[in-house]
A and B are shown apart, each in its own frame.
Chain A
Amino acid sequence: MFDRTKNLRLSVIKQMEIMATQFPDTISLAQGVPGFDTPECIKRRVEKALQEKVVAKYSLSPGIPELRELIEIKLARDNMFYDWEKEIIVTAGSIEGITATILTITNPGDEIIVPDPTYTSYREVILLSGCQPVFVSLNEQKGWAFELKKFEEAITSRTKAIFYCNPNNPTGTTYSREQLLSLAELARKHNLFLLSDEVYKDFIFPLRSERIFSLAEIPELRKRVIRFFSFSKSYAMTGWRVGYLHSDESVIREIIKVHDSLVTCAPVISQYAAMGALEMAQKEVINFNKEYAEKRDFVYQKFDEMKNFFSYIKPQSAYYIFPKIIKKEISMGFPEEKSFSWRFSKWILEETHVAVVPGIAFGENGEDHIRINFGRNQKGLEEALKRIKKFLQKQKLV
């Protein structure tokens, strides 16, 4: 019974959120939700669609044509050229696209290489598909960079893909063009797919006009690269569950079969919201980015005040910071927990009523760290960091 699901686990982030509900005054810096509501222009686009009575029926399986056209135009602005008719699928959030893709490109028993630390749900999706995640540690000293040799060593005859998140969750760091190109060369040599999850790519720190490079920009790689994007983070639309994926026609015509059997189509009302986002909300994305950049600077300042307890790599994107706990000789209780970062996160939650995510949730290489979402409202962020600092001071740890 339950052979397929017995090795799956409920996301640690969600476990932390559930634990946090026992304290009514908890401030959660755990779940990766943006601190904003969906922009008004997007809501108005949805209202219009409701009035026009166009949301009640299924759309075509790959999505509403107008939306896919808008996606093609948006991608072209970012130097990625894909045919909206045959090479773009609108998905129910990026995770559905990821699931459909892994089910499409693998057979049970295949392996997928995943950098460590990375987004928690990748492991579960890979296991659910009957495959094995193979974690390869990133180098924290080099700003959480790839070490190509480690990736090459991890490749076996069963390896099907390398699956990375860029900008990376939980570190907020990005991979350089050179690193990505060398990874692409490795994929070419071993005939692997490259799955690129780029849901945070619209946020860049410090603020600058240049884009985050994607391997999907390289025409020669289009049959190898499958790129995922979600409207959740960029447009504060986590609840709408809408995203998209794109790749070469030869790949997409296979993924679409799985997408169709999983969800038929992405929620049509959310597809209209996504149209509103692409048509009208670009200014909002820029404003979100500005605000996150200010919050990031604030968070630096607070962690610098606790620098004998935490060290951190400056995030270049997303809205996370992933500080390392450098003092480990602490008496915290929770002996049942093997993981130090779990014990620390529970301790902080119980003592300060601030929810953070233990680094172990993102892979073994994330141990000794905690992930903090600084995208929440400023007042809550200030109060949460004040509580943590005050508590650590009381413990004579900072």
Chain B
Amino acid sequence: MKFFFKIILKYYLKYITKTVLFLHQPKIVAVCGSINKTFVRDEIVRNFKKEKKSIRANPKNFNTEIGLPLAILNVSSGYNSYRGWISPIIEALKAVFQKKFPKYLVLEFGISQKGDMKYLLSIVSPKIFVITDITQRYVESFSGMDELFEEYEYLAEKISKNDWLVLNYDNIKIRELAKRTLAKVVSFGEQNFSSEWRIAKIEKNPQGQKVSISYQGKEKKYQLNRFGKHHAFALVASLAVKNIRI
């Protein structure tokens, strides 16, 4: 019963979401990878908001086959309760008729099972994909890292030449994706000196950290009120995205 309900719900949400996206044509930035998606997403949103762009992001963990459509439709989840789903199902339908829809969507893609990438790409067509990093996290449902990478290889091969891949070049396997795609590629990182957007230095201070970012031979410093290298990575990835005109 639960299985069938989930299947019906999945496709119901998928086709409503596709209708909404067709009607409103928002520009979509997708953030994928095993770690740091939320922080990268937040930085991108912050930058877009600074530019007064109308934007919506998915809440953390609304990033899978059910969660992603809910985030796009701006509808809450019924989680595992049949009764809890009554309202989201009605609200999802109403979303087709909503007048105000953001011009930009920043969406996390949760890839935790074989075929997830293909399914999510059957719902949305992002203009920019950021791949944060790919690690052992979420590998449990795959036969190994190679199978997990196949999801990203599928993405690299599927994405059109007019769209963008923003890649973490510190990861050698991610770097290789650049060779498998027709899309335009922008790179970021810390250790790999061939990255276009590179973290040159991180200095911790009581208020957070000062991050020096180098791009095209110039270095600029940013003071973050957050601690941890992952915020420096979120910053550099978001700057790479900001520089792309879509």
Contacts and interface: CB of A to CB of B under 8 A. Distances in A.
Contact of A280 (B79, B137, B208): B79
Contacts of A66: 137
A62 to B, nearest CB: 13
Interface SS of A by simple majority: helix
Interface string B96-137: 000000000000000000000000000000000000000001
A54 B60 contact: no
Contacts of B60: 70, 73, 279
A279 B79 CA distance: 11
Contacts of B239: none
Contact of A219 (B81, B140, B208, B228): B208
A40 B79 CA distance: 10
A70 B229 CA distance: 16
B230 A76 contact: no
B162 interface: no
B51 to A, nearest CB: 23
Contact of B226 (A65, A76, A220): A76
Interface stretch (A2-10, A81-89, A381-389): A81-89
Contact of A40 (B35, B38, B81, B206): B81
The size bracket of the interface on B is 20 to 34
B80 A44 contact: yes
Contacts of B229: 83, 85
Interface residues of A, number: 26
Contact of B227 (A41, A52, A81): A81
Contact of A41 (B61, B79, B141, B228): B79
B228 A85 contact: yes
A273 to B, nearest CB: 15
Nearest to B228: A83
Interface in A256-310: 279-280
A279 B77 CA distance: 12
A84 B229 CA distance: 10
Contacts of A69: 35, 38
A65 B35 contact: yes
B207 interface: yes
Given A44-B79, A222-B206, A279 B227 contact: no
A81 B80 contact: no
A208 interface: no
A53 B226 CA distance: 34
B225 interface: yes
A301 to B, nearest CB: 35
A279 to B, nearest CB: 5
A85 B230 contact: yes
Interface in A14-73: 40-41, 44, 52-54, 65-66, 69-70, 72-73
A-B pairs with lowest CB-CB distance, top 10: A83-B228, A83-B227, A44-B80, A219-B206, A81-B226, A220-B206, A219-B207, A279-B61, A41-B79, A85-B228
8 contacts: A40-B81, A41-B79, A54-B140, A76-B226, A81-B225, A81-B227, A84-B230, A219-B206
